[in-house]
Amino acid sequence: MSINQNIKPITTKVNEKGNLEIGGCDLIELADKYSTPLYVLDEATLRGIAREYKKAFSRLETVNMMFASKALMTSAVAKILSDEGFGFDVVSGGEIYTVKNAGVDMKKTTFNGNNKTPDELNMALELNVGRVSVDNFLELALLNEIAKSKNVVQKILLRITPGIECHTHEYIQTGHLDSKFGFDLTQLDEAIELILDEYKNLELMGLHAHIGSQIFETQVYYDEIGVILKEIKRIKDKFNIELKEINAGGGLGVTYTDEDCPPSVETIANVIIDSIEKHCSEYNLEKPVLYIEPGRSIVATAGVSLYTVGSSKQVPNGRKYIAVDGGMADNPRPSMYGAKYYAQIANKKDENEMKKVTVAGRFCESGDILIKDIELNNPQEGDILCVYNTGAYGYSMSSNYNCVLKPAMVLVNSAQSDIIIKRQTFEQLIQNDVIPDRI
């Protein structure tokens, strides 16, 4: 089984005390030492999935693994994944700064996004970002101007809208998709003409496409590669240039609950590689350098969130609510789009009194519900709740709503725990909060 098909980190077990343990660390002891809410990241799971990806794509002569940093960007995560041979897909100046701070070779980064600012593009070129995935005509002109001012030639990809939209278990193909990202295929020739004729400080290396997130369907990847290579063949015939690089994005799904059945990393790799081989043969193209950008499937399973159970409420003839000391500010996904999670009481594995409850957050919103109608082992005030698969888009989307402090994050491995994100303080909360002298 591939790691992305697990709900729990690969080191999860029940120890002799009857408590849940991850990375050799007792979760109750972690909660006592670092307080809750607490993000916990299992290093063995993180390194394990990274190695799965590298092995799965090893049939290809040249493939560049690029972690989609938006899923979870910390200096420690960047250092670990860089050590495992990954580059980074970055989408902001902050992500660029973080990977640079972690000692990453910036040639192994791709700067992506639909509205990069002039300051961010300047920063990217100053720090020698390897590729810029250009999203639109304004960016083409701006990037060329910046590159010219620095007397450099910047290598770029053109991001395209491939006409494939994925809806987890099904997808549609259309001539044009209503998307904020990328060049429509009908705009591609104009962009290439500008690069060849006017924008002499840009070097076009290839095409970039991304088809969605939390993808369970495999055919979409096969078809996406087909669309990209068909365009490369057409460009070769029209402009007499053969682009050498393709970026297929990421999007592989993970198992949040037993209802989810994502394909394995190996399955997706085989689909992509088979499509490359088939279409390159059909179109008489050299096999391109492949970039792949997994994000969620790299970090989601490695992460859990720990909460302390507080108050409870039994609605007459209705649900029983239990409240925890976190919620929509440290994990907004359930409130934003109904994301589902699995959880367990970390300190009651020897008991066997399951009760159906709804886990509510502490924030002043009726929609602050982490998990609806889950069977938990007799949850009581003071228990520690472990919510699985929160490594992706928890910390990275967190906020200070209600002026609640952001949690700490610890990395666990071989019975050792280390802080990789410090718990926010009240002083840090208001450090940019200014009262004008005139009031």
Mean pLDDT of 301-319: 95
Break the chain into its structural domains and give their ranges: 3-42+303-429, 43-299
| Residue 399 pLDDT greater than 70, yes or no | yes
pLDDT recorded at residue 174: 45
List 166, 364, 386, 403, catalytic entry: 364
Whether pLDDT at 176 is above 90: no
Sequence-separated contacts (24+) of 98-106 with Cβ below 8 Å = 98/69, 98/73, 98/74, 99/69, 99/73, 100/127, 101/75, 102/75, 102/76, 102/78, 103/79, 104/78, 104/79, 106/130
pTM for the complete prediction? Answer: 0.95
Q: What is the pLDDT of residues 238-277, one digit of tens each?
A: 999 999 999 999 999 999 999 999 999 999 999 999 999 9
Fill in the amino acid letter for 74.
T
| Cα gap 36→152, rounded to integer Å | 49
* 182 has pLDDT over 90: no
Contact 297, 81 (CB under 8 A): no
Pairing of the two strands 183-184 and 13-14:
unpaired
Provide the mean pLDDT of the chain.
Answer: 94
Q: Compute the average pLDDT of residues 78-107.
A: 97
Q: Is 49 exposed, middle or buried (0-12, 13-18, 19+ CB in 10 A)?
A: buried
364 is known as an active-site residue: yes
Tell me the C-alpha distance between 356 and 307, whole Å: 18
Nearest Cα residue to 158 out of 204, 196, 124, 122 = 204
CATH superfamily of 3-42+303-429: Lyase, Ornithine Decarboxylase; Chain A, domain 1 (2.40.37.10)
pLDDT tens digit sequence for 187-226? 999 999 999 999 999 999 999 998 888 999 999 999 999 9
Cα 366 to the chain's mean position, in Å? Answer: 27
pLDDT for 169 beyond 70: no
3-42+303-429 and 43-299 in the same fold:
no
**Res. 171 pLDDT band, cuts 50 70 90:** low
Sheet of strand 13-14: strand arrangement: 13-14, 20-22, 25-26
Interval 72-88 mean pLDDT:
98
CATH topology of domain 43-299: TIM Barrel (3.20.20)
